């Protein structure tokens, strides 16, 4: 027997979709630049660097390979994070690299998993490159869990300098 308020009929308040990054999205970028959001990325960037980043993200609307999306709650239209991919050379080969962030108030609800799945589906349908990598710090438990959950294969540890002068040990997924 079904009923209108059975659990499987309840709308998911944390269902999300992804939208191309746009001109009005600087406030989201500022939220994503908080100290707790950048702990594994060398810390917050300056206001000038964030403004440059906003310009770069807007311009990606014209890119055939690199994409940056905001993560939007279906229920309210609120922007709660970012996910994207871009080309890089890795071991002499062109691959896609992914990155993601969900603002703290919305973490732990499956939002990064859902949004990153959608971005992976987009990258796969575009078919620019065969392989897609992510390089979270070995200490970044949520990001490593996300890679595992989404079916990435861990290829081992690598050292990265990011940003300049800041060295970190990362997993190559």
Ligand X SMILES: CC(C)(COP(=O)(O)OP(=O)(O)OC[C@H]1O[C@@H](n2cnc3c(N)ncnc32)[C@H](O)[C@@H]1OP(=O)(O)O)[C@@H](O)C(=O)NCCC(=O)NCCS
84 lies in the site for ligand X, by CB under 6 A: no
43 lies in the site for ligand X, by CB under 6 A: no
Backbone angles phi and psi of 55, in degrees to 5: -60, -45
111 lies in the site for ligand X, by CB under 6 A: yes
State how far the Cα of 9 lies from the Cα of 7, in Å rounded to an integer: 5
Nearer to ligand X, 55 or 141 (CB): 141
Query: What angle is formed at CA 83 by the lines to CA 144 and CA 121, rounded to 5 degrees?
Result: 90
Nearer to ligand X, 23 or 34 (CB): 34
Six token digits for residue 107: 């973490």
Contact by Cβ (8 Å): 30, 70 = no
146 lies in the site for ligand X, by CB under 6 A: yes
- Position among 33, 73, 101, 168 found at the interface with ligand X (CB under 6 A): 101
Residue numbers at the binding site for ligand X (CB under 6 A): 37, 40-41, 99-102, 107-113, 136, 140-143, 145-146, 149
């Amino acid at each position: 027997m079904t009923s209108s308020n059975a659990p499987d009929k309840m709308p998911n308040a944390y269902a999300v979709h992804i939208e191309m990054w746009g001109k009005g999205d600087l406030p989201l970028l500022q939220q994503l630049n908080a100290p707790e959001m950048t702990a594994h990325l060398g810390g917050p960037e300056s206001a000038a660097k964030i403004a440059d980043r906003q310009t770069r993200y807007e311009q990606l609307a014209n890119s055939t390979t690199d994409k940056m999306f905001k993560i939007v709650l279906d229920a309210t239209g609120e922007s709660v994070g970012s996910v994207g991919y871009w080309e890089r050379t890795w071991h002499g080969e062109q691959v896609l690299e992914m990155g993601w962030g969900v603002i703290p108030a919305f973490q732990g609800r499956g939002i990064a998993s859902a949004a990153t799945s959608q971005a992976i589906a987009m990258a796969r349908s575009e078919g620019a490159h065969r392989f897609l990598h992510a390089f979270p710090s070995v200490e970044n438990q949520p990001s490593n869990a996300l890679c595992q959950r989404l079916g990435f294969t861990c290829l081992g540890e690598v050292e990265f300098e990011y940003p300049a002068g800041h060295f970190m040990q990362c997993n190559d997924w």
